[in-house]
Structure formats: C-alpha cells, structure tokens
C-alpha cells in the first residue's frame, strides 16, 4: 500500500488512519527553536464528516487511502436509497439518505454529481454548486407587493423548499446554490 511522507502532506490529500479514510483540509508546517519540524493537520473523516486535529513529526508517514472520485449520474430514488451510475463503466452505486445529506432535495434525475468511493463502497456525493429547477408551487403575490426584499417559500420540482423573492411564480425556473440552499436568480428553462 502506498504511503505519504510528511514532506508530501498538502491540502486535499486522502489518507487512511486506523482503517478510516480522511481528507487533509488544512496543513501547517512549524519549526520550533530546537527539535524536529512539526506538521499540524486538520483531517476530515470521509465517512462521518467529523474534523480532527493531528500533529506529525518530520519523517513520519501516513498510509494512502483507497479513495476515488468520479462523475456519476443520478438515476432514481428507491425508498430511502439514492441510485447513481458511473458514467464510464455504467456500474451502479446506492447511497443512503444520510450519505447524500441535505443535497437530496436538489437531486434531479439525469444530473451529474461527483461520487466518492472507498474500497468500492460509495461514501459521499457532491452535487453541482448550482442547479436549475422549476417552481412547482408558491403562494400568489399580492398586486402591488413588488418590494425586492420580500421573500416567500417556494416548492421546487424535486420537493425542496427554499425562500425566493415575492415576484416568483409557479412555472418559473430558478438557479439555486446547493451548498447554501439559497435562491440565486430567475433564469430560462435549461437546454
């Protein structure tokens, strides 16, 4: 199994500690007055999503994690599971609602996402930063109430609910940020 020495440590590196995959989200090099150099790392657990701090001395190494990331197409929802297909070899992967997280409300059939797989088991999915979805339902706007800072809840075609400006109507297409789950703009129907 490959390993990384401390001089190869950098942000984004995927390593394995005690059989669990981690991604290095921050790495700081520190050289005290005497003694060996220290590498202070923030590591994100790729399975649970928790972040932990670890410090390593110069010359230590960490095992490389068998983690791959590739583009996969969202196919459909099956009960509490979400089914994705690898675009290159057509292999299908199933993720639980917990693994998909809050982004589940913005998944639309045929959408391309980034799937993270560890030892041939899917562990996480990353949606595109922005998606274009149609408004399925919202309350009608009162005549004359066109203030730009007034917002109302709207239900999107995927079932997700977000806040949008009062001028939005049923059938409008909205660009939504999947990271913050916020309205960005009204747009045209996607091609």
Domain membership of residue 119 as a residue range: 67-126
pLDDT for position 82: 94
Q: What are phi and psi of 99, to 5 degrees?
A: -70, -35
pLDDT in tens, 121-178: 898 888 999 999 999 998 887 666 555 577 889 999 998 999 988 888 889 999 999 8
Query: What CATH number does residue 102 fall under?
Result: 2.40.50.140
Under the banding of pLDDT at 50, 70 and 90, the label for residue 55 is very high
* Total of domains in the chain: 3
Choose one of 38, 64, 90: the last residue of a domain: 64
Choose one of 109, 126, 143: the last residue of a domain: 126
Is the same domain home to 15 and 56? yes
Is the same domain home to 36 and 9? yes
pLDDT for position 167: 85
Query: What CATH number does residue 35 fall under?
Result: 2.30.30.30
d(CA 28, CA 73): 36
Is the same domain home to 22 and 73? no
Choose one of 101, 126, 151: the last residue of a domain: 126
Average pLDDT over residues 176-186: 90
CA atoms within 13 A on the CB side of 6: 16
Residue with token string 């939504």: 176
pLDDT in tens, 72-128: 999 999 988 999 999 889 999 999 888 888 888 899 999 999 998 888 889 888 899
Is the same domain home to 134 and 122? no
Residue with token string 């972040």: 51
Neighbours of 173 (CB within 10 A): 16
Answer yes or no: pTM beyond 0.85: no
Is the same domain home to 149 and 179? yes
Which among 106, 107, 169, 182 has a CA at the least distance from the CA of 135?
169
Outline where 33-133 has alpha helix (H).
97-100
Is the same domain home to 14 and 55? yes
Q: Which two tokens stand for residue 12?
A: 């984004």
């Amino acid at each position: 199994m490959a390993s990384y020495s401390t001089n190869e440590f950098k942000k984004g590196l995927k390593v394995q500690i005690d059989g669990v995959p981690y991604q290095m989200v921050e790495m700081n090099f520190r050289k005290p007055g005497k003694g060996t150099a220290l590498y202070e790392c923030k590591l994100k657990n790729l399975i649970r999503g928790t972040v932990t701090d670890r410090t390593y001395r110069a010359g230590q190494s960490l095992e490389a994690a068998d983690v791959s990331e590739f583009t996969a197409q969202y196919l459909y929802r099956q009960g509490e599971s979400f089914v994705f297909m690898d675009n290159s070899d057509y292999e299908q992967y199933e993720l639980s609602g917990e693994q998909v997280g809050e982004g589940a409300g913005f998944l639309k059939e045929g959408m391309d996402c980034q799937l993270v797989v560890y030892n041939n088991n899917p562990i996480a999915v990353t949606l595109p930063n922005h998606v274009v979805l149609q408004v399925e339902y919202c309350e009608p706007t009162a005549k004359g109430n066109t203030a730009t800072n007034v917002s109302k809840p709207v239900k999107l075609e995927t079932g997700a609910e977000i806040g949008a400006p009062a001028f939005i109507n049923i059938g409008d297409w909205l660009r939504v940020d999947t990271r913050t789950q916020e309205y960005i703009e009204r747009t045209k129907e996607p091609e």
